[in-house]
Amino acid sequence: MPEGDTVLRVAAGLRPHLVGLPVLRARAAGGARVERLVGATIEAIETQGKNLLIHVSNGLSVRTHLRMTGTWHRYRPGERWLRPASRAALVLEVEGSVVVCFDAPIVELFDTRSRALHPILSRLGPDLLAEDFDPAAAVARLRESSAITATIGEALLDQRVLAGVGNVYRSEILFIERVDPLAIASALDDATLGRIVGTARRLLLLNASRRGARATTDGAREGGTGRLWVYGRSGRPCRRCGTPIRSARLGGGIPRTVWWCPLCQASTANRIVSDATRPGPG
């Protein structure tokens, strides 16, 4: 699933081709009546967590969420698309450009004025990529997250707690900060939660400004040449200590696999859930 940094890069890529231009044609799969955008000028494109928002001059906004499948393309008028038109979830045409959101499961039109009451956007936690991001508020949300989801591994994926982190960052952040993903979030001290929040924001900002594969083993890496510390590396040696990386399915609803080093992330301060109560390998 694209994480907050990816969506931020998409927004930055779309702005030069859309902002300030009137919508000539618009269509969407499903029930979003985006034809109401035609004739209005695109005024802004922004992100909130993993949501991309397009605001137009007639008081309407479009929200898209890519989930696991969606992607944005831009074409010149008349240029052949790289994917079938049947997979287009949203198409916006302006002078000089056709932008297509393929395979996105969420395309929604809403009244911009109602954003504060939006059933999804209004419930999102602090956006790690926001210019006015408040680290203290983020730490408080993590501490309170046990009312929603018990472990720090689950809390980092819950967009109601923090907006922008996905499954890759979840595993990488906790490894970097040597925190057990099954530690109870509310049992971690403020210093630990602050480091988790700081590393999450640092990595998201780092990758939002770069192209290519996501990097989490940047200049501070302690060994190895790979870009990822633990994600997807179950059974392979830890880049720090050589211990085999473990993985498990974590979370209610739709469990997601988390990866960690049982030695590097096994400090007594953080290891709240015992091995005997851990889920099996994922």
Catalytic residues: 2-3, 50, 256
Contacts of 277 (CB under 8 A, 6+ apart): none
Distance of CA 53 to the CA centre of its chain: 14
Radius of gyration of the CA atoms of the chain, in A: 20
Separation between Cα atoms, residue 192 and residue 265, nearest integer Å? 13
Dist. CA 181–CA 260, nearest whole Å = 7
Task: Give the DSSP letter of residue 12.
Answer: H
Strands 256-260 and 246-250: antiparallel
List alpha helices for 177-273, DSSP H. Answer: 190-208
Which residues is 48 bridged to in the sheet?
Answer: 51
How far apart are alpha carbons 153 and 263 in whole angstroms? 17
Sign of CA dihedral 68, 172, 184, 123: negative
Contacts of 248 (CB under 8 A, 6+ apart): 257, 258, 278, 279, 280, 281, 282
How many residues in the chain? 282
Task: Dig out the tokens for 18 from the structure.
Answer: 């859309």
